[in-house]
Amino acid sequence: MLQLRNQLLKTSRALSKLQNSSSRCMSDDKKKDSIWQNDSDPNFENPFKRSGRILRNDLIRAKNWVGDLFTDDSKPKKYTMPLDKLDAFIENREDIRLFQTHCDVLIIGGGGMGSAIAYYLKQKAQHGLNVVVLEKDPTYSQASTPLSVGGLRQQFSLPENIQMSLYGADFIRRSKEILGEDVDLNFQPNGYLMLATEEGAETLKQNSRLQNELGARNEILTAKRLKEKFPWLSTEGIALGCHGLEKEGWFDPWALLCGLKRKAIQLGAHYVKGEAVGFEFKQQREMYVEGVEFGKYESVDRVLAKLPNGEIQEIKFALCVIAGGHHSGKIAEMARIGTGPGMLSVPLPIEPRKRYVYVFECDEKKHIGAQLNTPLVIDPSNVYFRREGLSGCYIGGRSPESIDKEPPIDNLDVDYNYFDTDVWPHLANRVPKFEGIKVKSGWAGYYEYNRFDENGIIGLHPYYHNLYIASGFSGHGIQQCPAVGRAIAELIVDGGYLEIDLTRLGFDRLIVDQPMRENNIV
């Protein structure tokens, strides 16, 4: 094995020398017209040069694979690429000369969900799969992940959501071991406090029972106990509260995204800056699909990617995953989902919804943040808040009560009047010390809203044999992306779910019109 590894290394070096010597021999001082470099071919698409480069890269990968056989995986690996240098590293690595025109798995969307899928695919089949991630905005200026509040909870009503968030909590606990010692997710284990009126008290108790049966740990508190534990809280109109005792709180979603992305790249995933603007299809004459005339079935075969310079490039794939967040509905339309006949007539019901997050402060003598046990509080009015540090600063917000109150999505401007009319009155009602709060700032972000049942859509599309979906999580995607990334990798590599069965969250429920409603959506 050691001889094979050394021989591969020698061969790759020899090929590199051959390229360089050929370039020198076939050019002069006045003109560069060799087969290796040509001014008329600025994108380096000359077939000789491209073939040589690909062969050399394959030899290097083979050498690394043999080297891995001698690596002790039980020893922690050192990671030398700082997170703040990640973008520069990707830009240098994903040079136009290395543009991936073919791949095994193409992931559309490189946010938290897409990067988690890329990481788990490469972890499972590091050298066996060529994984490409297509992301149109590597700055993530309008992505859901960095603009979220980073909540982590198991207080859901569906077993699948509880299990996914439990795994997310375990992933966050082991994040330094998995992603690198310099990845600091800054997890604050203060728990969630969900409050219920008399009308919702029984549902809260039932949900808590299920959550604890599945491995979460929370407790039901009466109004009296709530007042004893959180004296700053007004219990007017409150019958019960459910307080998470373990594995709940909040973390830095941007750090998680950067850590997942870096780890995926280190394992060999390729990130490409570009926007999916269309699909191309391939006729599968020998494949039978129910409802389709034999010989007429077409699968998705290539994506058309618009690059930063405006050029359209094709990327051919064996499998594709739509993980485009709030863009996923539009991406699916390009694949005829929602516009075709039969099963293709059912759209992917995911659209962007705009949400505001406000930063406000309380008078230093009145603030409650110095109490380290202050949880993330969710009021029956759907207003939420949590502390930000210990100096009287908080963040909070509220989802609109009805569709007619949804703000326009053409920009990410913050409406501070909405805070005055729809958020602050409920905050002051629940926490009397919030009567005199002052708004310092705020931000807006897009929420990938699944208008069918506000739950994630996960798994293989029932029409296409090579198109997977991982989107529509309606606000809880960042905490569940480790579990979903692992699940999609299981489907692709192992052929089925191994750890958490997410079958009920598949696209099929849209076709048979059976919503999987989650009661605890914030």
Residue 282 and residue 318 in one domain: yes
365 lies in a domain?
yes
Residue 370 and residue 502 in one domain: no
DSSP string over 353-399: EEEEEEEEE--TTT-STTSTT--EEE-TTSEEEEE-SSSSEEEEEE-
39 lies in a domain?
no
Using the 3D structure, point to which of 414, 448, 482 is the last residue of a domain. 448
pLDDT at residue number 13: 53
pLDDT at residue number 331: 99
Calpha distance 89→405 (Å, rounded): 43
Residue 144 and residue 217 in one domain: no
8 Å CB contact between 101 and 304? no
Question: β-pairing, 350-361 with 438-450?
Answer: antiparallel
Q: Which pLDDT band holds residue 288 (cuts at 50, 70, 90)?
A: confident
- Find the helix packing angle between 477-489 and 253-266, rounded to 10°: 20
Calpha distance 232→208 (Å, rounded): 24
pLDDT at residue number 342: 92
133 lies in a domain?
yes
Neighbouring-strand partners of residue 280: 302
Closest among 432, 365, 349, 437 to 394, alpha carbons compared: 437
| DSSP strands (E only) in 170-247 | 192-196, 218-222, 240-244
Calpha distance 313→100 (Å, rounded): 10
Calpha distance 457→460 (Å, rounded): 10
DSSP 505: G
Residue 342 and residue 356 in one domain: no
Tokens 């699916």 label which residue? 332
Residue 168 and residue 310 in one domain: yes
pLDDT at residue number 500: 99
Per-residue pLDDT at 18 exceeds 50: no
Closest among 14, 2, 129 to 61, alpha carbons compared: 129
Calpha distance 134→241 (Å, rounded): 43
Question: What's the average model confidence in pLDDT over 421-433?
Answer: 96
pLDDT digits (tens, 9 = 90+) for 364-388: 665 664 467 899 999 999 999 999 9
Residue 177 and residue 230 in one domain: no
Residue 230 and residue 135 in one domain: no
CB-based contacts of 84, cutoff 8 Å, min separation 6: none
Q: Which pLDDT band holds residue 6 (cuts at 50, 70, 90)?
A: low
pLDDT at residue number 429: 97
DSSP 188: B
CATH at residue 404? 3.30.9.10
Q: Which pLDDT band holds residue 74 (cuts at 50, 70, 90)?
A: very low
Calpha distance 406→399 (Å, rounded): 8
8 Å CB contact between 274 and 96? no
Rounded to a whole number of angstroms, the distance between the first and last alpha carbons of the chain is 55
Tokens 């539009």 label which residue? 330
Tokens 């299990």 label which residue? 163
Residue 380 and residue 509 in one domain: no
Neighbouring-strand partners of residue 458: 470
Lowest model confidence (mean pLDDT) among 195-199, 273-277, 328-332, 518-522: 518-522
More confident residue, 60 or 462: 462
pLDDT at residue number 7: 56
471 lies in a domain?
yes
Lowest model confidence (mean pLDDT) among 40-49, 280-289, 487-496: 40-49
Token pair for residue 444?
């807006």
Number of domains observed in the structure of the chain: 2
More confident residue, 157 or 65: 157
Using the 3D structure, point to which of 423, 448, 473 is the last residue of a domain. 448
Q: Which pLDDT band holds residue 21 (cuts at 50, 70, 90)?
A: very low
Calpha distance 308→479 (Å, rounded): 31
CA 176 from centre of chain = 19
Count CB atoms within 10 A of the CB of residue 312: 12
Residue 141 and residue 271 in one domain: yes
Q: Note down the domain range covering 276.
A: 82-185+249-349+451-522
pLDDT at residue number 26: 39
Calpha distance 496→490 (Å, rounded): 6
8 Å CB contact between 154 and 147? no
pLDDT at residue number 69: 44
pLDDT at residue number 427: 97
Residue 196 and residue 339 in one domain: no
CB-based contacts of 68, cutoff 8 Å, min separation 6: 126, 127
Q: Which pLDDT band holds residue 519 (cuts at 50, 70, 90)?
A: confident
400 lies in a domain?
yes
pLDDT digits (tens, 9 = 90+) for 207-249: 999 999 999 999 999 999 999 999 999 999 999 999 999 999 9
CA 30 from centre of chain = 51
pLDDT digits (tens, 9 = 90+) for 134-161: 999 999 988 998 889 999 999 999 999 9
Q: What value does the mean pLDDT of the chain take?
A: 87
pLDDT at residue number 42: 44
Question: What's the average model confidence in pLDDT over 87-112?
Answer: 76
Question: What's the average model confidence in pLDDT over 194-206?
Answer: 97
Using the 3D structure, point to which of 416, 433, 448 is the last residue of a domain. 448
16 lies in a domain?
no
Calpha distance 218→245 (Å, rounded): 5
pLDDT at residue number 414: 98
DSSP 392: S
CB-based contacts of 186, cutoff 8 Å, min separation 6: 251, 252, 255
Residue 401 and residue 342 in one domain: no
